[in-house]
Structure 1
């Protein structure tokens, strides 16, 4: 069955068009589809949406955004666990505030992903119920900041390069980097209170003046640790700084609360939160990664973490002699003039194969497994020229194929080796 596009219409005509799509995909009546489409845009039903658009009330419409976090507290006897979901309401829908790729770059949102157009979910587990609530509130404050300022997190090397001078700001801490639609940057520096006293204050003021940067300290709790860290705004554009300063001083976490309290929903640990937008798509959620068991031919699962895909390796054991040989080759390739794209793939493989080795020999005493097999050592010689490097890659492939039976994790590694070989052979940097 094809799915309904996960988009929130912002006009009455858009709601009608979405209803036609819903009707085609779910076979429900057109009237029912109109109500589903209207609810997806934040209205009670289509009649409510039409009345709101006709009266102009849609301009004041608030959009619900849901943030959820699993938690598992092993300090209790017995251990306890659960799922907390926080609902906030903002003037703009989540889809207009943050794209999927931007989420992991935003302060307080690094551990979250966009599960649906109205729902952010934290991937891993928080260590306790209180920690889960804290992370959800910080995430809510970040969304409020993004919506109010119109800024987006910096995501590209070019954007970061324009701000690299900030790395030298004395006593900077918990710095988050933001960009405006005009590509002017804003940084939020949130050190602890000692920076408000001398000599830290004078040193920082002198550095800002010397580097022709504008800064200000708003009367605002900030994002990283409200009430404890002290936020400072820095920018290369005085107008943007002043605008951002004025906006954040009007912000208060109370604006996100309902009746002075955070609207939290508590569920069982093995449940899943299903948001209104997810319900409207009629598309079921997949099981949470790391919480179900699977099977892969000739492979064994060797690492599992709730919220993340399980890690697998071939279900055979490579001799320590071959591990050491592969380690020697990887070390030499590391010091060789490999193209950057090949170097990145080889570094990834080097790390993963070390993990395979420790998993294969996990029952041995740690002292019996040389920790320097894949890293460390002195007087490592590089390979000279493309031919030597390509031959080294082929040697690695031969060892892997002679040791392990065909399996998905082996095939994944061989593909990475093939990509590295191709980049070396073609000189692709």
Structure 2
């Protein structure tokens, strides 16, 4: 059902704003309205709220969280740099965001947990302005996660539970969250404002929520995806979680009314690395930024570089096009066969990487001489029937690989994947 409720303000400005609404709606004197608003937020009176909240602010310890992003502008006047944003947080970063959750949160895709107080974006932004925009949005996400006590969804169980909510008509830019304590889920839906201005769309959405048994709310908050251009809505199966999250984000809206100050940003050269205070305190040196140095690996060569990411390696030898065709046909036939799902995923990884190796090996050749359909495409492929035939096909792939390439790390890595696929095929039959 569609739930409406009084949101509990968590700040003095929020309590005052709520008091104005109560005074207008219930014809209360201003002082009585302040006390009523404070009681809705769990305080005895407005004076009690002032004492508690002001005391909390005095004793509250602030923790610094740093966000950084490299940028490279290749337009008329090429330039580059590193932008750093310092954010104040009530809790240390590690207390409300884990390393594996980082890249799964809205606005934090592309960031990684560089140190206990520092998130770094892996790739380059296209300009200094774009880097600052990315950092500002990432800061909004961190503030949201900390204040609302939510975590980005990371499990299939929670995704499955949220499938119904994702059928909300006209939903867009969806992000999925779960309460850190109760485990209840909540979805943040952020369609563009011009879509929500259409009365028909709003009516369809409202009717859908009424019939779904879910709860939703539109908070006084600009959201995460594209503040000022999109309209945030929360959808959940828990009315209590909805109440708490809406209260939290509306408190954030009060705090962030003036935006992030330009003084919170600092700049460094692009060829440098930001050393956070916690890393410096612990005396931990940073490794060079991935994709900016050259390495060595026996019988292997780097074939792809990208700043911020580990280089891609392949065996140093060249496989004949005849063998590439044979490998491609065998993998395509396995793809068409009834291979177990997990084995199928391993074989797909091998298929993709072997195509990369082929194009890298024949980089200097005329593109017309390299068949782009070697590893993908084709019709009427003959399937392998039975476990024995599929295992024999995998063994055939292995014999071509070790007969072509000398021992190297990239070869060993993909032989392991091939052996794993073979074992999964056998296990599925037993």
- Shorter-chain TM-score bucket reads 0.7 to 0.9
1:245 corresponds to 2:229: no
- Rate the CA distance shift 1:319–1:92 in 2: closer, same or farther, 3 A: same
* Distance in 1 separating the partners of 2:332 and 2:264: 53
User: What is the rounded CA distance, in whole Å, between the counterparts of 1:195 and 1:258 in structure 2?
Assistant: 25
TM-superposition CA deviations, 1:366-422 (whole Å, max 9, x none) = 332222111111112221111111111110011111111111111111111111111
Asked if 2 retains the 8 angstrom alpha-carbon contact of 1:89 and 1:256, the reply is no
**2:16 aligned partner:** none
Alignment partner of 1:315 is 2:305: no
Change (3 A) 1:91 1:56: closer
Aligned-pair distance for 1:58?
A: 8.7
Deviation at 1:423, TM superposition (A): 1.4
* C-alpha distance in structure 2 between counterparts of 1:65 and 1:428, whole Å: 51
The 5 A counterparts of 1:186-225 are 186-193=186-193, 194-225=195-226
2:182 matched residue in structure 1: 182
The 10-residue stretch of structure 1 (357-366 or 152-161) with the greater mean CA deviation from structure 2: 357-366
- For the pair shown, the structure with the greater C-alpha radius of gyration is 2
SS at match of 1:164: coil
Determine the structure 1 residue equivalent to 2:128: 129
Which residues in structure 2 correspond to 1:390-429 (within 5 Å)?
390-427=391-428
- Tell me if structure 2 keeps the 8 A contact 1:88–1:256: no
Matches of 2:202 and 2:123, distance apart in 1: 38
CA-CA distance at 1:258 after TM superposition: 9.3
Please list the CA deviations of residues 282-335 of structure 1 after superposition, one character each: whole Å capped at 9, or x if unmatched. Answer: 110000000001111211111000000000111111111111111111111112
What's the CA shift for 1:428? Answer: 8.1
Give the superposition deviation at 1:60: 0.3
Q: Which residue of 1 aligns with 2:386?
A: 385
Structure-2 residue corresponding to 1:173: 172
Q: Which residues in structure 2 correspond to 1:241-390 (within 5 Å)?
A: 241-252=242-253, 255=256, 260-390=261-391
Shift of 1:166: 2.8
Partner of 1:115: 114
Mapping 1:152-167, distance limit 5 Å = 152-167=151-166
Deviation at 1:341, TM superposition (A): 2.1
TM-score in terms of structure 1 length: 0.83
- 1:100 is aligned to 99
Cα distance in 1 for residues equivalent to 2:429 and 2:346: 13
Unpaired runs of 5+ in structure 1? 1-54
Number of aligned positions between the proteins: 374
How far does residue 188 in structure 1 lie from its aligned partner after superposition? 0.6
In the alignment, is the contact (CA less than 8 A) between 1:71 and 1:127 conserved in 2? yes
Could you list the per-position Cα deviations for residues 339-370 of structure 1 after superposition, in whole angstroms to 9, with x for gaps in the alignment? 22211111111111111111112223333222
SS at match of 2:273: coil
